[in-house]
Chains A and B, each alone.
Chain A
């Protein structure tokens, strides 16, 4: 069986080039901004994977991003060393997603109802975490802090050496490595039967069921995996910001990632990554001025993309690239045809 165009395949040349750029970027720029852009890219990748390939649209993917951030902060305050909190920041969102996902998918809830439920989950978490300012809201030695959040926790350290904390450049490389590894994990999933069944579910859930696939189990599984990736992004965000507030669950956070994925392009992995990096950078630039509201610009971008290039930037560019390739091959073919015609006519002339 040939590779499926619908799931794509890894282009190692591009991957190595991207890795080299990420490695060398600190030589030409500060790493603070690139670090958060990579974190957002990972967050967008996690949503793009399940939405673009399995057709699962979650309006509240920020719930798992925020759970990852809070889990890390709470765990690292209690444990003191970052390795276990880092792992927990993936496991806790994954466990919550497994429960929420199983309830939705085995309950045959999908489409817009799924979107509403996931959005409610993140808004409930936002409301709840905003109301945890009192003394009652303490987990071990960690105060949840209400709307002001949780500052002052240990950032990532070298595993097993809590005294060697990672700041600046090492944090940047951790973020880059996390993004690259998660990208490879997504590619690996898509290259297996599991990934192809996900694409089948996106195309026609009922037919997959009629083929004998346990559709709710597949959907729950990818929902869980992507929640773990979002949790990892949340953990890295907590380390980058050095504070966790309920804003990680906010409607703005939930909407932004959707816009990044739509603008970058559904059904690709690189689209959400580039969408998050480019629009995230625009957001940071806009944050330095007060003339225009940030949300207005992002809203305008969403409208322009949805109306102008509904498939997103990357699929549109891929389409143009493919069309250019076909035209070039067509010209080469007609040139060869002309040469063959000349060759064929040669004996007549001679």
Chain B
């Protein structure tokens, strides 16, 4: 196992529907990979499988993170390996301030003494200073997305898994996010799940295209996004 994340015949079925169909996937050290595909392609289910959000059994295939077989592990155990996970819908503590949200995440990795400093660093990095004392429940969607990314990054993970991080963001926020993701990628392997082709093009990474639960195509962003088969998948989906 040489990859940071590897899956072998990963399969997930819901009743009669196969959401992820025998997927073999590999992510190298310090690689930035985008998983794209239209709605229902299986990319978010795949994401939840590799992050422990769906309980996996041996018949679902196997997932390895840095060589460790994490099939069936709980989410918190996978995070404790050094993974940072951002979910599709911002998952935050609405009744707490931005600072409290960040501190709670920082505390687990940096301890009581180091958490404050880590929060200050990430606040400066993501320009969250103005929101720091506000309740998270009062923030806009884009601001909440950025806070959740802060919660992930404050733990300084070596594997970052972002599910639709740009959803609901303004153009300026998306540009800032692209810079943040590239910065993260200098020290961590990153998987970004998204269906926004422009955002993926801006990231300019390797792209894996999901279609009907399986991998349709893999390659550099520009060639993949201009591929007729990929365009057919997207346009066909929209037409449907």
**A211-B105, A213-B76, A214-B76 as given contacts; A199 in contact with B116, CB under 8 Å:** no
Please give the distance in Å from A267's CB to the nearest CB on chain B.
9
Query: Per a CB cutoff under 8 Å, which of A193, A203, A210, A214 touches B96?
Result: A203
Query: Per a CB cutoff under 8 Å, which of A1, A4, A196, A212 touches B79?
Result: A212
Q: Could you tell me if B107 and A207 are in contact, using CB atoms closer than 8 angstroms?
A: no
Q: Which of B86-94, B166-174, B189-197, B203-211 contacts A (4 or more CB under 8 A)?
A: B86-94
Please give the distance in Å from B99's CB to the nearest CB on chain A.
8
Those of B206-229 within 8 Å (CB) of chain A: none
A33 within 8 A of B: no
Interface centre among B80, B105, B119 (most CB of A within 10 A): B105
B112 within 8 A of A: yes
Please give the distance in Å from B89's CB to the nearest CB on chain A.
10
Query: Per a CB cutoff under 8 Å, which of B85, B103, B109, B151 touches A1?
Result: B103
Those of B112-127 within 8 Å (CB) of chain A: 112, 115-116, 119
- Residue on B nearest A208 in the bound complex, by CB: B104
Please give the distance in Å from A241's CB to the nearest CB on chain B.
40
Q: Could you tell me if B119 and A211 are in contact, using CB atoms closer than 8 angstroms?
A: no
Contact-size category for B: 20 to 34
A19 within 8 A of B: no
Complex: how many Å from CA A203 to CA B92? 8
Q: Could you tell me if B119 and A212 are in contact, using CB atoms closer than 8 angstroms?
A: no
In the bound complex, residues from chain A placing their C-beta under 8 Å from that of B237 are: none
Contact with B along A196-230 (1 / 0, CB 8 A): 11011011101111111111000000000000000
Complex: how many Å from CA A215 to CA B116? 23
In the bound complex, residues from chain A placing their C-beta under 8 Å from that of B24 are: none
In the bound complex, residues from chain A placing their C-beta under 8 Å from that of B79 are: 209-212
Q: Could you tell me if A204 and B100 are in contact, using CB atoms closer than 8 angstroms?
A: no
Q: Could you tell me if A204 and B94 are in contact, using CB atoms closer than 8 angstroms?
A: yes
Q: Could you tell me if B91 and A206 are in contact, using CB atoms closer than 8 angstroms?
A: yes
Q: Could you tell me if A204 and B108 are in contact, using CB atoms closer than 8 angstroms?
A: no
- Residue on A nearest B52 in the bound complex, by CB: A209
In the bound complex, residues from chain A placing their C-beta under 8 Å from that of B85 are: 210
**A193-B112, A211-B108 as given contacts; A200 in contact with B87, CB under 8 Å:** no
Q: Could you tell me if B95 and A203 are in contact, using CB atoms closer than 8 angstroms?
A: yes
- Residue on A nearest B109 in the bound complex, by CB: A212
Q: Could you tell me if A213 and B95 are in contact, using CB atoms closer than 8 angstroms?
A: no
Q: Could you tell me if B95 and A212 are in contact, using CB atoms closer than 8 angstroms?
A: no
In the bound complex, residues from chain B placing their C-beta under 8 Å from that of A202 are: 95
Query: Per a CB cutoff under 8 Å, which of B80, B91, B109, B155 touches A207?
Result: B91
In the bound complex, residues from chain B placing their C-beta under 8 Å from that of A336 are: none
B75 within 8 A of A: yes
Please give the distance in Å from B75's CB to the nearest CB on chain A.
5
A6 within 8 A of B: yes
Q: Could you tell me if A203 and B93 are in contact, using CB atoms closer than 8 angstroms?
A: yes
Q: Could you tell me if B151 and A207 are in contact, using CB atoms closer than 8 angstroms?
A: yes
In the bound complex, residues from chain A placing their C-beta under 8 Å from that of B108 are: 211-213
Q: Could you tell me if B112 and A207 are in contact, using CB atoms closer than 8 angstroms?
A: no
Q: Could you tell me if A203 and B94 are in contact, using CB atoms closer than 8 angstroms?
A: yes
Contact with A along B124-136 (1 / 0, CB 8 A): 0000000000000
Contact with B along A1-23 (1 / 0, CB 8 A): 11010100000000000000000
In the bound complex, residues from chain A placing their C-beta under 8 Å from that of B99 are: 1-2
B74 within 8 A of A: yes
Complex: how many Å from CA A43 to CA B151? 37
- Residue on B nearest A211 in the bound complex, by CB: B105
Query: Per a CB cutoff under 8 Å, which of B76, B87, B92, B155 touches A215?
Result: B76
Please give the distance in Å from B49's CB to the nearest CB on chain A.
15
Complex: how many Å from CA A6 to CA B151? 19
In the bound complex, residues from chain A placing their C-beta under 8 Å from that of B103 are: 1, 196
Please give the distance in Å from A288's CB to the nearest CB on chain B.
42
Complex: how many Å from CA A193 to CA B91? 21
Q: Could you tell me if A209 and B75 are in contact, using CB atoms closer than 8 angstroms?
A: yes
**A209-B75, A211-B108, A211-B151 as given contacts; A1 in contact with B91, CB under 8 Å:** no
In the bound complex, residues from chain B placing their C-beta under 8 Å from that of A210 are: 75-76, 79, 85, 87, 91
Query: Per a CB cutoff under 8 Å, which of A1, A197, A199, A211 touches B155?
Result: A211
Complex: how many Å from CA A213 to CA B78? 11
Please give the distance in Å from A122's CB to the nearest CB on chain B.
30
Q: Could you tell me if A207 and B93 are in contact, using CB atoms closer than 8 angstroms?
A: yes
In the bound complex, residues from chain B placing their C-beta under 8 Å from that of A213 are: 76, 108
In the bound complex, residues from chain B placing their C-beta under 8 Å from that of A2 are: 99
- What are the 10 closest A-B residue pairs judged by CB atoms, nearest first? A203-B93, A212-B79, A207-B91, A204-B93, A211-B105, A1-B116, A212-B80, A200-B104, A209-B75, A203-B95
- Name 21 interchain pairs, CB-CB below 8 A, sorted by A: A1-B99, A1-B103, A1-B119, A4-B100, A6-B96, A6-B100, A196-B107, A200-B93, A200-B104, A203-B94, A203-B96, A204-B91, A204-B94, A209-B76, A210-B79, A210-B87, A211-B79, A211-B151, A211-B155, A213-B108, A215-B76
Interface, chain B (partner A; CB < 8 A):
74-76, 79-80, 85, 87, 91-96, 99-100, 103-105, 107-109, 112, 115-116, 119, 151, 155
